[in-house]
A and B are shown apart, each in its own frame.
Chain A
């Protein structure tokens, strides 16, 4: 959509003159010059009851301001009548038998999020969210619809590939309705150049929508009316333009944010780059982790290697000893000077209170003196017997921001100050429990992601597209008989009978990377869902919830084409023949409710594999050749980035390489310059690689009758490579000379039959 179409479209309706607009009470205070600057950018429209203002999914970049009357806003395409995974439906007398057969068939184990974490409302581009069970709400005079779609359209002319938000819901007039339809440019000016109008919208939001919006977030569902009333006047409503950083990793946490509109990118800085943890949409929140009460880590260290123990001290008291009996304990089994239950620790402000128990026989030494009860600040230590206890801050709960949050689009936020947030946690213990639970889940998720990228360089890690995924489906084409059992299993797993797996895609060596979700590090598919239906579960898997409206934004944003939009029957209250078909996006959810992906489980030939690419390609494919001698000078240069492994042998350092192209370059290989494989590079295997016409050969040249069944081999020993002729009929030549056995050097030309190869020794990093 061109810029002129967005900003100069004919809206229809009744165009209003500057004088008429200035006379509208809701626009009081707006300078008349603004109306004159954009003639025709705002029109007045009237709708009779039952008339539609917009339909979900259709494109539209205008915003509607309701001047009078009531409208219904709802999701027309009903929430999918099918669930993504089949469940057990056992009823009546045969319930027991059904359960047994269900067990044999393999039923999903529900791993859905706990009640207080599960979504209850569908976020849309309007002043309200829609309840999940009955997705309909009412809007009245003073409300705005389509603000995000309109504002986001403004920045499209700066993008190489424009991204638009489709209408997130259907709007129908309930009574006689009068609305102003506005083009993005006028909306932008009205909102940001007319404080009075903006303030009116904000006041309306504070008074009417804030309480419901907060309560639509599951963890805040239990907030009392009294508290919400007190919060109304204290929260700040913040607007953030696209690209602006909202909070930065490492900064002191001073507020909690609830997203009112737009998308926020959450990322962590990492040596060599930025790692996107997730994208958050309306009704999501962030900033809670920095505001949670501080947590500490206590590390016990004995005199002998391996005598280490570590525990967290946060909300509850932790008991320490050789065999303490408590819910939360730190066990120090190696030191006989420490009693079975020796002391306890609890958080007091920004320090830990350590208190010796009556059962603790030997004294605790703190700052060179025995003490029974004392406060330990971060960084200090105390001693009992031969064991030293060090106190450190928990990096993820230290009162500082753990990630950087950036506005992806025009973002509107509800900012709750740290003191109000603390008050909320104190007054509502259930909210506190919920928030801590969410924080713990997010921490686990972050830790899982970070574990996956502990490599030399994140930039290198991300260079290879295969490495983008964190869980990759591979099909070993040497084993696969193309029986399609994997596809059938995928169809059988989902009640909509639509496969998420298409056994086609790029090939790498003998592996096919089929089109199935790779659960990317940076899930771009999540950045434009108008109803927040696509998201990452705690297990890092991408799931599309069944309130998807099928707008196909995620499908076009997926860099690997792994999301499809398909027509899925809505079986609610009808038979399959009478079912209505609604477009829905579908993506592989890695069979999140099953012990393992069913495509892998159903493969009769062990050809389907789910692998973590980094580990698989580094260890599985490259194998033993990962141990390479590293030039010490280069190692010094890289020392700042990579800590040297403690147990590394003196003569060589084993490096973990994440980038497959980097790996291939350093490995010995031969490049075919003529013959059947011309242009291809063949990786040499350890300790030998055979070439010939028969299936036994590692590399086979079945169509070259000048090649013997087992023609020659290349062996490696002590880093030297040798080519051996295996008594072949037509012989093997090295640099044009027939050889039976010869050492290879970089660039040597090996020929046999009609094949010619250049030997490449590879180079260490």
Chain B
């Protein structure tokens, strides 16, 4: 969520409430003989308000579950989540009299602090990383489909290299996958078999004989470079060596420039294709990393929030009963 002018009313509203709360707290702290305490009436009022806001914030996940709900857009709920979250921190601090407490209370304060910090961290990342992703990853794929795209790139690269080397001896399942934009339905099995046969003729031809003749020596060199350096980069988990080799677009370009100097001109088109394939793979790796940063913080924020909610209930029961 980008913090922009659309947040103004939330910022102003929360600031106003925070100022009113602070004024109330100062008056209460001034007037109470033993200083502010969580068990006093004003302390309980701050606790109730803060807890109410925390419960409301947790409803965000429920709101997301029902996208069509008439109870406001999810973006409205997220804005409320951000700003009321900060306000609830202040209210809880007022409840505790700005003291960290002991035992369960201290645990709750630690949890709340981590949740708040992780939330702010997430918000900062969400403001920054989408733009960065747009700049760095020009060939973005659907995150869930990255393994499939990598597999497809590998198949494509194998096919290109086989034009120079003939059969590489790589046997992989040619799984038929569903493409966005329409699926060919074969009602007639003969039609499907016919299409597969046609495809197989091309594959057999490519594997049997080199389609571009660059000589045995160059073909051997191509095969060795491809299998040892390029192909390992076209897997979901790459080796450290290849990751380093293609770490940036410039490094990738330098590698393929070097190959172009040692291989004949006839191979350059294939090398250009391989360079493009490797660059796409590199961008997908960057995308995966950025995606992990964009969503990784939620693995801290969400479970701790749930734990916090449960422990808050325990804290309330214990405090009120005993």
A interface list, Cβ under 8 A from B: 55, 57-59, 103-108, 166, 477-485, 488-489, 492-493, 502-504, 510, 515, 550-552, 555-556, 558, 560-566, 583, 591, 594-595, 598-599, 601-606, 695, 700, 702
Contacts and interface: CB of A to CB of B under 8 A. Distances in A.
A57 B295 contact: no
Contacts of B73: 601-603
B203 to A, nearest CB: 24
Given A58-B187, A565-B185, 10 more contacts: A108-B68, A503-B142, A551-B187, A556-B184, A564-B178, A591-B68, A598-B67, A602-B64, A604-B77, A605-B75
8 contacts: A59-B187, A478-B131, A480-B130, A492-B67, A552-B183, A594-B68, A601-B73, A602-B67
A602 B134 CA distance: 22
Interface of A is mostly: loop
B6 interface: yes
Given A515-B181, A604-B78, A106 B129 contact: no
A564 B182 contact: yes
Contacts of B317: none
A479 B71 CA distance: 23
A166 B187 contact: yes
Contacts of A595: 70
Interface residues of B, number: 41
Given A482-B143, A482-B291, A606-B6, A601 B68 contact: yes
B202 interface: no
Contact of B74 (A104, A108, A604): A604
B130 A481 contact: yes
A106 B70 CA distance: 6
A595 B69 CA distance: 10
Contact of A485 (B67, B70, B182): B67
Contacts of A107: 68
Interface in B53-105: 64-71, 73-75, 77-78
A267 B284 CA distance: 46
A653 B291 CA distance: 47
Contacts of B132: 702
Contacts of A700: 131, 135
Contacts of B291: 482
Given A552-B182, A552-B185, A561-B181, A601 B130 contact: no
A393 B132 CA distance: 59
Contacts of A591: 68
A470 to B, nearest CB: 20
B164 interface: no
B2 interface: yes
Given A104-B69, A502-B142, A603-B75, A556 B131 contact: no
A55 B64 CA distance: 44
B185 A604 contact: no
Nearest to A85: B68
A558 B182 CA distance: 9
Interface string B33-64: 00000000000000000000000000000001
Contact of A482 (B131, B135, B188, B294): B294
B138 to A, nearest CB: 8
Interface in B171-202: 178, 180-185, 187-188, 191
A605 B2 contact: yes
B141 interface: yes
B130 A479 contact: yes
Nearest to A512: B140
A564 to B, nearest CB: 6
A57 B78 contact: no
Contacts of B1: 479, 481, 604-606
B241 interface: no
Contacts of B71: 104
B182 A504 contact: no
Contacts of A105: 66, 68-69
A84 to B, nearest CB: 13
Nearest to B191: A59
Given A492-B66, A602-B74, A510 B134 contact: yes
A598 B130 contact: no
B279 to A, nearest CB: 14
Contact of A555 (B2, B74, B75, B182): B182
B66 A106 contact: yes
B134 A477 contact: yes
A685 to B, nearest CB: 16
A308 to B, nearest CB: 39
B67 A601 contact: yes
A106 B67 contact: yes
B128 interface: yes
Contacts of B134: 477-478, 510
